[in-house]
Amino acid sequence: MVKSFASGLLALGAAATLLSGTATSAWSFELKGEPKVAFIYAAAAKDGGWNEAIDAGRAAVEKDLGLTVAVAENVPEDATKLRAAIDLFVKRGFNIIVGTTYGYSEPIAEAAKAYPDVAFLNASGTTNGPNLESFYARTYQGWYLAGIAAGSVTQSKKLGMVAGFPVGVVNWDANAFILGARSVDPSIETVVVYTNSWWDPVKEGQVAEAILDQNADVLATDLSSTSPLAAAERRGASSVGYQLDMSHAAPEGILTSVVFHWDRYLVPTIKSITDGTWTPQEYGAFEGIDNGVIGLAPFGKRVPDAAKAKIAEVQAKMVAGAFDPFTGPIEKQDGSVAVPAGEKVSDEALWSMDYFVKGAIGTMPAAQ
Amino acid sequence: MLDGLVITRRFDTPTWLLALVFLAGIAAGLAMATALLVAIGVPASALFNEVIGEAFMTASGLAQTLTFATPLICVGLSAAVALRLRFWNIGIEGQLWLGALGATAVALGDVGPEATRLPLMLVAAALAGAAWIALPLVLKLRLGVSEVISTLLLGSIAFLFAQHLLFGAWRDPATGFPISLAFDASERLAALGFGRTHLGLPIALAAALLVWFLVDVTRLGFYGRAVGENIEAARAAGVPVIAVTCAFVLLSGALSGLAGGLIVAGTEHRMSLTLGAGYTFSGIVIAFLGRFRPLATVVVAVIIGGVFTASDVFKVFYGISEAVVVLLQGLVLFGVLVAQFFGAYRISRANWGASA
């Protein structure tokens, strides 16, 4: 029914073969008039996490490209509300519009059809078109490295992770973290708990306490608030942050944070739009550690040098394309085969990942 | 100073005074709202252009206002119908979620032939909404459980049920995100050719006419008024209190359910977890401002729709948060409720004789 990002990614393989190896899309876009850029957030721009990381990219766009960027915050993920905001921006001459959530995917695709002269970008979106490119990052690469750091410091051999919803982009974070830790010591187990919310600092703190009560001594958050880190810090446990460098919340126990550098995507992309050289990718931009969109924040004091060296080595392999965390053999939580030896999880399978790997303690809500 | 005043209940308030008090209340509410907007940084000069101009005077703005107003008419009617019996339906959002789920179930399940799909979706929405209020209704009638609590809590349960489906059976299989697949073309209400307004607008207006007919013309409506005024007197006079209560309350649930159906079939074209937020409050505000009269409810719903449109302007160009919309509605409601006091009571200077 709806052409999805993931099935698109699969088709990309086929298309690329047909085009004898070229992955360039047939789409091109020409901006009419002076660039006027607007970012639309579903919550506050300064949320300390997801939006703030994108907003740092916005600041870089302003600084590096000399553009003034308008910002609309708290625009809900409803077609009616988002379209109203987009209509207002377009009516006042804005011609580059950046959305920030998967919930905008369909309405932004409809807006892109209605306004072919306006360029649209959408973070973690699932739709693309001649003037619309969705973008996300291979966050699991960073989480695998963070898993190595966590696996290197744990004494209790038990880690914890507070996660949002059981969706593919979250599950791959948890699984990569687990795989990274178990690459250090295969006896390590990780408690993963979903809060079923993207933003609930109180609940996240309580969940963190509950995980720490189960004897975990490293706590990671896959969400935007720092309350799990604060809980870990109070208990003397180590912690891993997400989205931004969260070391301010846990100066003693922080190991690192898996961080976005959206400027590495937004600045060149918006520049290409203003230059008239933008060709939106037919299946969206899926950026990785190789171009620096995903990375680790500076290590905390508890991370041993040996771990730092190992992380640097694995990271170099990832950047070179010689290593992928989701390469078989990988076992599921129940011991069945998730990925056979020698095979790599396809991008499509990443987006629909609905299982835990071995070493997870927790229940994956039934997918179907 | 206050002990120099005497407050007496008026036994009958002249119509001109009621109208005056009502208008004064709205004016006071708007004045407070204006002061609030200016205080948080909207230039006073922009207020007229942005509010009246953008929301009602431009074609695109008016279309947006009417699009917002479509479900608001239904939830306003829903609150009004229930409140006529002094039944506090605080679970409008819950019934709206159920309505959206009902319509989505028909759409995703491809129930029936395509030609009857849309009518079936809307009927399913209304029935699901009515079913969701049936439980508080039974609890109230049989056990005297306060409907304020039961409808409110069932609203949360409805949301959890929506979450359950969108993280389970209905989630987008390709991405795992909690959004249902998009509806087919035959499952979307036709556009009216004016902005994003859709067939839901005439449907909502028809619902308003139907409700007006039921509560202002028929005997059922007369009974309803009797039950609302004094349930014991109505019972003593032979009014079938239980039947009348059931009819009004189920109608209220059905209207909220219909609102959910119109949202998914009219504008969203899929089920999501954000589409129902905030409708309980808006519905009650609209019902109060419309004095529980069905046709006045339509007018107020369009005005509140305009407030939504204007709030988008504030949000997009002045960085003012969504919460301000709730505040603006609240201030106007507050103004009207306070003003009603002056309609219901006479305030005069006390004459305490020698002690004064």
Give me the residue from A75, A167, A368 closest to B177, CB to CB: A167
The pLDDT tens digits for A95-106 are 999 999 988 999
**Alpha-carbon separation of residue A82 from A67, A105, A118, B183, B272 (angstroms):** 23, 10, 15, 19, 14
- What is the structure's pLDDT at A13? 36
Residue A266 one-letter amino acid: L
Residue with tokens 């004898």: A20
Inspect the interface and report whether the beta carbons of A1 and B182 lie closer than 8 Å. yes
Q: Show the domains of chain A with their CATH numbers.
A: 5-138+262-291 (3.40.50.2300), 139-259+294-361 (3.40.50.2300)
pLDDT tens for B178-190 read: 889 999 999 999 9
| Angle at CA of residue B303, ends B299 and B306, nearest 5° | 145
For residue A349, give both structure tokens: 């399978």
Can you tell me the mean pLDDT for A20-25? 43
Contact in structure between A293 and A131 (CB atoms under 8 Å): no
The predicted pLDDT at position A199 comes to 82
Mean pLDDT of chain A: 90
Is residue B40 pLDDT above 50, yes or no?
Answer: yes
Question: Cβ–Cβ of B168/A84 closer than 8 Å?
Answer: no
* Interchain contact, A72 vs B316, CB within 8 Å: yes
Is the predicted ipTM greater than 0.90, yes or no?
A: no
Give the residue-averaged pLDDT of A53-73.
95
Domain limits, chain B: 72-283
Query: Which of A135-144, A153-162, B18-27 is the least confident region?
Result: B18-27
**What average pLDDT does range A275-279 have in this prediction?**
92
- Work out the average pLDDT over A302-321: 96
Q: What percentage of residues in chain B have a pLDDT greater than 90?
A: 60
Inter-chain CB pairs, A–B, below 8 Å: 112
Which amino acid, one-letter code, is at B350?
A
Q: How confident is the model at residue A245 (pLDDT cuts 50, 70, 90)?
A: very high
- Inter-chain contact A78–B321, Cβ cutoff 8 Å? no
* In contact, A348 and B176? CB cutoff 8 Å: no
Closest CA to B270 of B161, B157, B188: B188
CA nearest to B63 within chain A? A84
Hey, are the CB atoms on A78 and B174 less than 8 Å from each other? no
> Hey, what are A309's tokens?
């060296």
CA atoms within 13 A of residue B342's CA, in its CB half-sphere: 14
pLDDT band at B75 (very low <50, low <70, confident <90, very high): very high
pLDDT at B323 over 80: no
Q: Over pLDDT 70: what percentage of chain A? A: 92
| CA torsion through residues A304, A307, A311, A317, sign | positive
Phi-psi region of A264 (alpha: psi -120 to 50; beta: other; left: phi over 0): alpha
Our CA-based measurement puts residue B312 at a distance from the nearest CA of chain A, in whole angstroms, of 6
pLDDT in tens, B224-265: 999 999 999 999 999 999 999 999 999 999 999 999 999 999
Contact call for A91 and B270, based on CB within 8 A: no
Contact list in A for residue B180 (CB cut-off 8 A) is: none
What is the distance of C-alpha A31 from the center of its chain? 29
Q: Which of A73, A91, A167 sits opposite B319 (nearest CB)?
A: A73
Which residues in chain A belong to E strands, given as ranges? 37-40, 69-72, 96-99, 119-123, 132-137, 158-163, 189-194, 218-221, 238-243, 254-260, 285-287, 294-296, 330-331, 337-339, 360-361
pLDDT band at B351 (very low <50, low <70, confident <90, very high): low
Dump pLDDT digits (tens) for A174-206: 999 999 999 999 999 999 999 988 888 999 999
Closest Cβ–Cβ partner in B178, B268, B274 for A165: B178
Start-to-end C-alpha separation, chain A: 18
Nearest to B274 among A103, A171, A348 (CB): A103
- Position A123 scores a pLDDT of 96
Rounded to an integer, the average pLDDT of A71-82 is 89
Q: What is the pLDDT of residue B295?
A: 93
pLDDT reading at A228 higher than 80: yes
Q: Which amino acid is at B176?
A: G
